[in-house]
Amino acid sequence: MMIATVCIIQLTTGVILDRHYDRSTLRYAAYTVLYPLIYWAITSTIAFLYTPVGLLRRRPQVTLWKTERT
- Whether residue 61 lies inside any domain: the answer is no
- Residue 32 scores a pLDDT above 80: no
Mean pLDDT value of segment 7-11: 83
Pairwise CA distance, residues 50 & 70, whole Å:
37
- Whether residue 27 lies inside any domain: the answer is yes
- Whether residue 64 lies inside any domain: the answer is no
Pairwise CA distance, residues 31 & 24, whole Å:
13
**pLDDT of 42:** 95
Q: What whole-number percentage of the chain has pLDDT above 90?
A: 17
- Residue 31 scores a pLDDT above 80: no
**pLDDT of 47:** 94
- Whether residue 67 lies inside any domain: the answer is no
Q: What domain range is 37 assigned to?
A: 2-56
- Residue 67 scores a pLDDT above 80: no
